[in-house]
Amino acid sequence: MKHLFSCALGSRLSRVISVASVNEILEDQGSWMGKILWVCDEHTRMYVPEGTDCVVLPSGEGAKRWDSIETILGKAAASGLGRDGKIIAVGGGVVCDLGAFAASIFMRGCAVSLVPTTLLAMVDASLGGKTGFDLFGMKNLVGTFHPAHEVYILAQSLRTLDDAEYRNGLGEVLKHAILSEDDRLATYLEENRGKLLSRDIVSMERMIVDSLKVKQSYVESDPTETKGIRDALNLGHTFAHALESVGNLTRFSHGEAVAWGVVKALHAGVSSHVTPVPFATRHEELIRSYGFDVDVTVSDRGRFFEALRHDKKKRASQVRFVLMEGQGRHLLQPLTQQQVMAVLGFSGVE
């Protein structure tokens, strides 16, 4: 067990800890005085210690709904969990988001620890305090800010993922490389692509820590996304969430959609004379080199723009897109429907 760093989110501190096994998590939690409820899904049940109170959810994005929250809350109440209790969520981003949201509202808030078992969850959902679930066909329409007490990084779990799920997480890592204050992460990804794609443990651990450090720099400066700083982490997400909505939240993985959305945001930045062409070209080539299809065509134009209208970054009825002025420098800028259509390769008006 190794303490990697701590992330301060307002008055709350999230400890990020590297562990080699669940036994090390149990050891670290040994001093916790309240009851503990574990939450997992069908694929991560194997990580939950035997004999513990546990909720097993269905796997996949389809489980990210209110019914799952009710299941967790019902088990928490039945098991006697109190405000001094803790929910430990073990799984991908869906489980982490659901477990943390349930903890944020149970008895007006109990503690939560996260054990992300996918790369996407490790570098995205686990750190920063965001929770939520999908409602009315809209991704993360409901949510809270509720930082985890601990985030346990079990890098060995990444070896159990199929190639598509592992690449899913790489989409967020590649986004962080653009947002980093320097290009060291991008260079590391360029120079170590073979090791990272073959899932060398040492290389993956460095990538995870370096990626999380980028996210840490943004969330600590803007814990509840009120200053416009943390908005940078939504690079590509305005495009991505709309694409996911077109695919009924199941056709495209989040990482695939983000990688596609980041490239569209780079194109939008170039066409708006905001993003330097060499910068956009380098990162598009890097994203493509990791096997992402960034040439997907939007099949339902009307639904895509309807999803854009519900984007959470809207201000004064205008959807603001994250565009890049260069390495680690972003701005929020509205785009007209005609500009978005041009980026998507459409011509004419709806």
In angstroms, the CA 196 to CA 176 distance is 16
Beta bridge partners of 321: 333
Two tokens at 344? 């998507």
Q: What is the pLDDT of residue 44?
A: 97
Averaged over 103-131, what is the pLDDT? 96
Task: Give the closest residue to 171 by CA, choosing from 222, 239, 231.
Answer: 239
Asked whether residue 316 carries a pLDDT value surpassing 60, the answer given is no
Averaged over 319-346, what is the pLDDT? 92
Residue whose tokens read 């080199």: 289
Q: What is the pLDDT of residue 315?
A: 56
Averaged over 115-128, what is the pLDDT? 94
Averaged over 168-192, what is the pLDDT? 97
Asked whether residue 175 carries a pLDDT value surpassing 50, the answer given is yes
pLDDT band at 350 (very low <50, low <70, confident <90, very high): very low
Torsion, CA 172, CA 176, CA 179, CA 181, rounded to 10: 180
Secondary structure of 1-39 in the HEC alphabet? CEEEEEEEECCEEEEEEECCCHHHHHHHCCCCCCCEEEE
In angstroms, the CA 92 to CA 96 distance is 6
In angstroms, the CA 116 to CA 201 distance is 16
**Helix extents (H) in 4-155:** 22-28, 66-78, 93-105, 119-120
Q: What is the pLDDT of residue 297?
A: 87
CATH 3.40.50.1970 segments of the chain: 2-158
Two tokens at 60? 């996949």
pLDDT band at 349 (very low <50, low <70, confident <90, very high): very low
Residue whose tokens read 């004999």: 51
Residue whose tokens read 């991505």: 240
Averaged over 273-299, what is the pLDDT? 95
* pLDDT tens digits, 206-253: 999 999 999 999 999 999 989 989 999 999 999 998 898 887 556 778
Task: Give the closest residue to 36 by CA, choosing from 21, 54, 58.
Answer: 54
In angstroms, the CA 318 to CA 314 distance is 5
The answer for residues whose C-beta is within 8 angstroms of residue 129's C-beta and 6 or more apart is: 9, 12, 14, 100, 145, 146, 147, 148, 219, 223
In angstroms, the CA 195 to CA 281 distance is 23
Architecture of domain 2-158: 3-Layer(aba) Sandwich (3.40)
The CATH number given to 201-344 is 1.20.1090.10
The answer for residues whose C-beta is within 8 angstroms of residue 285's C-beta and 6 or more apart is: none
- What does the mean pLDDT of the chain come to? 93
Asked whether residue 348 carries a pLDDT value surpassing 80, the answer given is no
The answer for residues whose C-beta is within 8 angstroms of residue 31's C-beta and 6 or more apart is: none
pLDDT band at 149 (very low <50, low <70, confident <90, very high): very high
Beta bridge partners of 41: 57
The HSE-up count of residue 244 (CA atoms within 13 Å, CB side) is 24
* pLDDT tens digits, 9-26: 988 999 999 999 999 999
In angstroms, the CA 128 to CA 70 distance is 24
pLDDT band at 254 (very low <50, low <70, confident <90, very high): confident
CATH 1.20.1090.10 segments of the chain: 201-344
Two tokens at 247? 């695919």
Residue 278's alpha-carbon distances to 267, 283, 325, in angstroms, are 12, 9, 12
